[in-house]
Structure 1
């Protein structure tokens, strides 16, 4: 297993991808999840990926709030319009993924979801704005 001490992302290990544990509070739950940095064909971690992480850190509370609202909206529109306003028990954050892009800051949140146990939920952010909420396949490539 390779280890990299990145000046922005911290100590990362490489198995299938570069990752480290990351503490986040989402849906009023403090969680420790993998922070994954996607690279292909032995590419280095890019400055854009570091920028993505720094911008997320700077705007974390507003980004998390928008993700929580977006998942609740997605659930109501696609599964059950009569759901209670608290979706906390229905989703579980599995990992956060910083993707590889030359011109955009791409960040993904991958969730298990009891209302869609086979496909889960993925939230794609581009430049700190929600681009798409759908099954987690949108982020697994």
Structure 2
């Protein structure tokens, strides 16, 4: 089933609404899945539209502001796994957001149901070199990083 939503564009339903789109991320084009939580009737919460529009309006700033929390998460995970002491080629020592940018690929933007949080809620998913199986996910509340973890954090 397909619909053409005035805000989200042409969406296809398969266990949720989605479409592929291209977005710029830190100077590179990224092919991402835009996933909108919703029922088969194709009706979305007003909060979903507000959260998505706000993300798109502020994307220029947001895309760079999320790099430091990702770097912090990476360093913390690397330390917890002991790879700051015992070498692991999947977890090299890195210090800069430019280095973390080389290790991640933006793959998805998730617009959850609008009634879970009071804030504008968006999930962002990445593939990453250090954890191919679980990937990387961010939850943004009011365009600020609230949580960083595996991809399921964002879904």
Scaled by the length of structure 2, the TM-score of the pair is 0.80
Within 1, Cα distance between the matches of 2:49 and 2:142? 13
Question: Helix, strand or coil: the match of 2:44?
Answer: coil
1:94 aligns with 2:107: yes
Residue 42 of structure 1: CA displacement? Answer: 5.1
Alignment partner of 2:31: what SS? Answer: strand
Corresponding position of 2:94 = 83
Higher strand content, 1 or 2? 1
Q: Deviations over 1:14-61 (max 9, x none)?
A: 122111222222243211211100125757211111111110111111
For the aligned residue pairs, the C-alpha RMSD in angstroms reads 1.9
Tell me the number of residue pairs that the alignment of Structure 1 and Structure 2 aligns: 139
Structure 1 runs (4+) greater than 4 angstroms displaced: 40-43
Counterpart position of 1:25: 24
User: By how many angstroms is 1:70 displaced?
Assistant: 1.6
For structure 1, list consecutive stretches of 5 or more residues without a partner in the other structure. Answer: none
Question: In 2, distance between residues paired with 1:91 and 1:18?
Answer: 25
The answer to whether the aligner puts 1:123 opposite 2:138 as a matched pair is: yes
Q: What runs of 5+ residues in structure 2 fail to find an aligned partner?
A: 85-92
Which deviates the most, 128-137 or 79-88?
79-88
Q: CA deviation at 1:138?
A: 1.6
Alignment of 1:49-60 (within 5 A): 49-60=48-59
With the length of structure 1 as denominator, give the TM-score of the two structures.
Answer: 0.87
Counterpart for residue 33 of structure 2? 34
Are the counterparts in 2 of residues 5 and 11 from structure 1 also a CA contact under 8 Å?
Answer: yes
The answer to whether the Cα contact below 8 Å between 1:110 and 1:121 also exists between their aligned partners in 2 is: yes
Instruction: Tell me by how many angstroms 1:104 deviates.
Output: 2.7
